Amino acid sequence: MIVADKKPIEEIVQEIEDVKSLLIAGCNECVTVCEAGGKKEVGILASALRMYYLNKGKDVKVDEVTLERQCDHEYLEEIRDMVERYDAIVSIACGVGIQFVAEQYPKMRVYPGVDTCFMGATEKRGLWVERCQGCGQCVLAKTGTVCPITRCAKRIMNGPCGGSTKGMCEISQEIECAWQLIIDRLAALGRLDEYEKLFPIKDWSTDRAGGPRKVVREDLQQ
């Protein structure tokens, strides 16, 4: 899922000091799971903002809505009738959802209410970890299902580098060396011969180096 973190309220209010009515829009998908932008967080942010404005002597209408998804036009259409009633929208979906709201409603002021961080998983409640960088050309088959692009600070394809000490990365004692993990897992699988093979130069054009990316599936398009 896409992992996001709450934006400090101080930062959000800077952008919306002048509004008279505001819609807080949450998303029922990834940001609900990482407890940053679901229905519950919409309620908390809306309540906090209502009190913030009131405390400043401003009469601002702050309403709440949580969509099934903000990264699909269909779900965004559901709020078409209501968006006109507001000066601005604070979206607490991921960056994708926030941009899609703005694209769907071009005349609307849309602001982010979360900081979108990465694609990751819930290690335990309150701890989310990055596992994929969406490089566009998956190498997990060759690396014992440990991603060197995500988990190695240098993103090297033939590791480990000289900075790996006792299984940890040189940039932090808290970060495990991805290549140590790869070797350990390949050893456990009895497939260390895979490690002997050198990776050819990776085609980074499918990563961000090729600019913003698209997946085109003509078989699905109408």
Binding region for other proteins (CB under 8 A):
8-10, 40, 43-44, 47-52, 54-57, 59
Q: Least distance (Å) from other proteins to the CB of residue 29?
A: 20
Judged by CB, which is closer to other proteins: 7, or 151?
7
Judged by CB, which is closer to other proteins: 48, or 102?
48
Q: Least distance (Å) from other proteins to the CB of residue 144?
A: 36
Q: Least distance (Å) from other proteins to the CB of residue 65?
A: 16
Q: Which residues, 6 or more positions from 27, have their beta carbon under 8 angstroms from its beta carbon?
A: 37, 38, 66, 67, 69, 70, 71, 91, 92, 93, 94, 97
| Strand order, beta sheet including 127-132 | 2-6, 114-124, 127-132
Judged by CB, which is closer to other proteins: 56, or 208?
56
> What is the C-alpha separation between 148 and 169, in angstroms, rounded?
12
> What is the C-alpha separation between 89 and 145, in angstroms, rounded?
40
3-state DSSP call for residue 27? strand
Q: Least distance (Å) from other proteins to the CB of residue 41?
A: 9
Judged by CB, which is closer to other proteins: 38, or 159?
38
